Amino acid sequence: MEFSAKQIASLINGTIDGNPEARVNRISKIEEGQPGSMTFLANPLYTQYIYTTAASIILVNTSFKPEKPVSGTLIRVDDPYAAFAKLLEVYHATIRQKEGISESAAISPSARIGRHVYIGPFVSIGEDAVVGDHAEIHSHVFIGDRAMIGEHSVLHAGVKVYRDCVIGRHCIIHAGVVIGADGFGFAPQDTLEYKKVIQAGNVILEDYVEVGANTTIDRATLGSTIIRKGVKLDNLIQIAHNVEIGENTVIAAQTGISGSTKIGRNCMIGGQVGIIGHLTIADNVKIAAQSGIGNSITEAGAIVQGSPAFEIAPYRKSYIHFRNLDRIVKKIRDIEKRIEKKE
């Protein structure tokens, strides 16, 4: 579809600098913009490209003041990135949703399938499972007995949802995700062997959760592993049994969260963070990438870094000393040698 600058500005409450009839039919990165495309400038590091891009329409901040002529039409908004994200949603909504059930899908007679759903080739849906209206279940997805998939949720190719697990409305589950595999529960025996502890619980994803490719969320031993509304999980994350993640928390790739840890609302957790079990992380906490969390964080809004992690300001000061450690040691040895000579 094609949109004019005037139409786009009305959707995002923007103001136009340039030709209101400029038209676009695709999007592009600012450094690769071509005529007929729309792009945006949100990061100041990319400002140089606004003077060379051939994009027809560019979203910019209301405070942006060009230092040289810009060839494209500017649409000024308070937050270009957020405005661009909103336009992507509008564009996605214009794409016709798939509907229909593949002949190769295996669906239990007791399963309940909603209206206007898409169920792709080689999907397997178990006994008493529920798939809500407008859901999209792509090829080779497995949905176990009594599992529930909410309205408008999308399960991409190869997703596995084990028995009794619940996925809310408007969730997006990317390829290769496993929801509801057994938690890592083994009881040591006198024989030095390990006896498996039956994992009798489930996993619950509330509404508007997104889970990245190849992430795994283990079922609870008892009760539920719970991912609250609006949580966003990156690729390759491991979430263990009985973990609870609060609303609107975001977690980057390769993070591992051990069993029974409770993470608060609106937290931001960087990539490759490790969190041990049975901890509590307060609301609004930020954890820097590659940090190791071995103790609960009870202060709301705390920012931590390091392994073991501690407050970020002292960490940064300490890091200066880490980098200078070899020089400091050499200096101490020189002083010791001088003292020995005097003695």
Pairing of strands 268-269, 3-4: unpaired
* Each residue's pLDDT tens digit, 290-330: 999 999 999 999 999 988 777 878 878 777 777 788 888 88
Domains of the chain: 3-94 (3.40.1390.10), 100-315 (2.160.10.10)
Look at residue 106 and tell me whether its pLDDT is greater than 80: yes
Nearest of 193, 161, 164, 195 to residue 177 by alpha carbon: 161
Residue pair 281/296 in contact by the 8 Å Cβ criterion: yes
Pair 224, 245: CB distance under 8 Å: no
Joined tokens for residue 115: 């209206």
Query: Can you read off the two tokens belonging to residue 266?
Result: 């609106």
* 3-state SS class at 9: helix
Q: Kindly state the DSSP code that residue 98 receives in the 8-state scheme.
A: P
C-alpha 121 chain-centroid distance:
27
Residue 64: what pLDDT?
95
Between CA 252 and CA 250 the distance in angstroms is: 7
User: For strand 23-24 and strand 3-4, is the pairing parallel, antiparallel, or unpaired?
Assistant: antiparallel
Catalytic-role residue among 134, 152, 174, 241: 241
Average pLDDT across the chain, whole number: 94
**Confidence class for position 142, pLDDT limits 50, 70, 90:** very high
Instruction: Give the residue among 129, 260, 84 at the shortest CA–CA distance from 185.
Output: 260
- pLDDT tens-digit profile of 14-68? 999 999 999 999 889 999 999 999 999 999 999 999 999 999 999 999 999 999 9
Q: And the tokens for 186? A: 């083994």
Q: Which of 24, 57, 20, 23 is nearest to 39 (CA)?
A: 57
Q: Residue 271 and residue 237: Cα distance in Å, rounded?
A: 9
Dihedral sign, Cα of residue 164, residue 165, residue 168, residue 173: negative
3-state secondary structure of 33: coil
Q: Write out the DSSP string of 147-201.
A: -EE-TT-EE-TT-EE-TT-EE-TT-EE-TT-EEEEPP--EEE-TTS-EEEPP---
Dist. CA 278–CA 297, nearest whole Å = 12
- Does 241 participate in catalysis according to the annotation? yes
Residue located via tokens 């993070």: 255
pLDDT digits (tens, 9 = 90+) for 174-217: 999 999 999 999 999 999 999 999 999 999 999 999 999 999 99
d(CA 50, CA 54): 9
State residue 146's pLDDT score: 98
pLDDT the model gives residue 95: 67
pTM (2 d.p.):
0.81
